[in-house]
A and B are shown apart, each in its own frame.
Chain A
């Protein structure tokens, strides 16, 4: 199993450009998450999904949109990138909340907005 994969690994955008980050998991997890991590800080939740076709806002959702059209994929979109969105983005997935379940993280996407 590949676990959680993210594409691309690195990206540089100009202010106002748009892009989509792709997260894929092959563990048949119901829950998926997008976090951002800024230097010297912990991860902050952007959006999450508790199942195919569902999405919900996290702590810092402004400027981002997400879609979960397929169970294994969770897309994060930036419609009009801003320098404040320069960060490392991590995707994660987990089983349902029926038990005590850890989240599995991808390797991250490093995004720079100029």
Chain B
């Protein structure tokens, strides 16, 4: 899950297995969420987004689930590959403030061969 601090939560996954990364948010008014992937030494890269009128959205090998009741998001990566090793962030644009993003601390995914 998400946390803020010096120690990133880490998810170790066997290559080929599915990964599930969790994120909690606090603003009940949030209506749009984005998942980013950040590889070592690079900037965050968009993976998938979801609006609050949806419970689920699928992309290529990725699925995002949104549970508004408990203010929880998850990112599922199917058949995890070595190239999926990265830090994953969920973010919540605040429209009233120039779409500025609030990021959690991220989750590091390590894919074991």
Judge if B103 is at the interface, Cβ distance under 8 Å. Answer: yes
Contact status B98-A42, CB under 8 Å:
no
Q: Which residues of B contact A108 (CB under 8 A)?
A: 41-43
Size bin of chain B's contact surface: 20 to 34
Contact status A41-B5, CB under 8 Å:
yes
Partner of A42, one of B41, B43, B104: B104
Closest A residue by C-beta to B103: A42
Known: A97-B95, A102-B49, A108-B43. A40 touches B89 (CB 8 A): no
B2-41 vs A, CB cutoff 8 Å, 1 = contact: the mask equals 0011111000000000000000000000001010100001
Judge if B101 is at the interface, Cβ distance under 8 Å. Answer: yes
Shortest beta-carbon distance from B74 to chain A in Å: 17
Judge if B105 is at the interface, Cβ distance under 8 Å. Answer: yes
Judge if A31 is at the interface, Cβ distance under 8 Å. Answer: yes
Closest A residue by C-beta to B44: A105
